[in-house]
């Protein structure tokens, strides 16, 4: 158990819909990262928050947004869903603000768009 | 942009043999190179990492080597066991670049008993 909690574990929805994925980092970790893992794309970095502020942005689509709340949990919002958004979405956390240290991954949220 | 290439994509070895996975990175400013192991249906977990001021690091049966000039780093697993079967990801990042840990495409390692 990494200490990072993600909900829901599985989610099935239709194209055009909107979903919210939630992540609670390890106790004491200030940074939250979101990654997308699909079969042909490996682990793609989406976005990072550090202590409530956006710290780094990767290949995140405009239809996707995220935020980190004062209690440090984070939510990833995916809207106008397309079939290609089906993937495993991982949240990870770390103590420090950059990735030159271990990232602790949650178990992931598997999104299926039909 | 930053890119990490990983080879091979699949690797099958006999139990007890060694396995080597290789990665190259494009950003010459990268200074941190972790390796993550992901078992089927599970989360990625860090198994070893190396920083740019070190050429080699070893932890029991696992070792990583780094060649900064060639922008190349490798994972070596000796005396492989069936429980080493998993997907292995290399990654690269640099200090003060936030969460931009760039992963390779992964290597599916299969260790046959």
pLDDT averaged over every residue in chain A = 92
For residue B23, which residues of chain A lie inside 8 Å, CB to CB?
Answer: none
Quick: pLDDT tens for A29-51: 999 999 999 876 689 999 999 99
A-B contacts at Cβ under 8 angstroms:
70
pLDDT (average), residues B20-46: 94
Dist. CA A31–CA A102, nearest whole Å = 11
Partner A, chain B 56-85, Cβ-Cβ below 8 Å = none
Is B35 near chain A, with CB under 8 Å?
Answer: no
- Calculate the CA B57 to chain-centre distance: 12
With 70 as the cut, is the pLDDT of residue B99 above it? no
With 90 as the cut, is the pLDDT of residue A95 above it? no
Q: Is A84 helix (H, G, I), strand (E, B) or coil?
A: helix
Is B1 near chain A, with CB under 8 Å?
Answer: no
Q: Are B103 and A42 in contact (CB < 8 Å)? A: yes
Cα atoms found within 13 Å of the Cα of residue A60, Cβ hemisphere only: 23
Nearest C-alpha of chain B: how many angstroms from A16? 27
Is B54 near chain A, with CB under 8 Å?
Answer: no
With 80 as the cut, is the pLDDT of residue A23 above it? yes
Residue-level pLDDT at A1: 85
Mutate to test the interface with B, among A29, A103, A108 (most CBs of B within 10 A): A103
Of the candidates B32, B43, B97, the beta carbon closest to that of A56 is on B97
- Strand locations in chain A, DSSP E? 5-7, 10-13, 19-24, 31-38, 42-50, 53-57, 64-68, 74-78, 87-94, 104-105, 109-113
Of the candidates B42, B89, B96, the beta carbon closest to that of A43 is on B89
For residue A96, which residues of chain B lie inside 8 Å, CB to CB?
Answer: none
Q: How many C-beta neighbours within 10 Å does residue B57 have?
A: 15
pLDDT (average), residues A68-85: 96
């Amino acid at each position: 158990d990494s200490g990072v909690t993600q909900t829901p574990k599985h989610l099935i929805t239709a194209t055009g819909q909107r979903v919210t994925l939630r992540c609670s980092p390890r106790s004491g970790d200030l940074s939250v990262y979101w990654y997308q893992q699909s079969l042909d794309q490996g682990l793609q970095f989406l976005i990072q928050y550090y202590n409530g502020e956006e710290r780094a942005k990767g290949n995140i689509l405009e239809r996707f947004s995220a935020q980190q709340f004062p209690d440090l949990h984070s939510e990833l919002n995916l809207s106008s869903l397309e079939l290609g958004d089906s993937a495993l979405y991982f949240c990870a956390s770390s103590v420090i603000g950059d990735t030159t240290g271990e990232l602790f991954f949650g178990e992931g949220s598997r999104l299926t768009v039909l | 942009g930053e890119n990490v290439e990983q080879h091979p994509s699949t690797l099958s070895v006999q139990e007890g043999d060694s396995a080597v996975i290789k990665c190259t990175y494009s950003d010459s400013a990268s200074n941190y190179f972790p390796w993550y192991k992901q078992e089927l249906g599970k989360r990625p977990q860090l198994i070893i990492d190396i920083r740019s001021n070190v050429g080699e690091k070893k932890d029991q049966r696992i070792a990583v080597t780094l060649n900064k000039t060639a922008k190349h780093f490798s994972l070596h697993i000796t005396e492989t066991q069936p429980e080493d079967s998993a997907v292995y990801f290399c990654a690269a990042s640099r200090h003060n670049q936030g969460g931009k840990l760039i992963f390779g495409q992964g290597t599916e390692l299969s260790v046959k008993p």
